[in-house]
Amino acid sequence: MEKLLQYVRQAAHLHGGVFRPIIISDIDGVLLRGSVPIPGTLEALKKLHAFGIPLACLTNGGGYLERLKAKKMNDIFG
């Protein structure tokens, strides 16, 4: 949880003390169902990226190391 809070603080804070939005989302059932993207997820992620809005992902789907879950998502979403 500390890593997430650190990321959110850094991602939301811009120069000059201005804050920007950040999206925090669950993975399983929100972005993916198993290994299959929820319809519209890829397009939404592309829009977030285009607007420079950071995304922090959470999951309680145990059984995966953090780096393996991140790799799996990168493989699916690019």
Mean pLDDT of the chain: 85
Set out the domains of the chain in order of their start, with CATH numbers.
Answer: 2-77 (3.40.50.1000)
Instruction: State the Cα–Cα distance between residues 24 and 21, nearest whole angstrom.
Output: 10
Q: What would the two tokens of residue 74 be?
A: 């990168």
pLDDT at 16: 67
The pTM for the full model equals 0.73
Long-range contacts of 67-70 (CB under 8 A, 24+ apart): 69/27
pLDDT digits (tens, 9 = 90+) for 32-66: 998 899 999 999 999 999 988 888 888 886 677 88
Instruction: State the Cα–Cα distance between residues 10 and 66, nearest whole angstrom.
Output: 19
Q: What would the two tokens of residue 19 be?
A: 């804050």
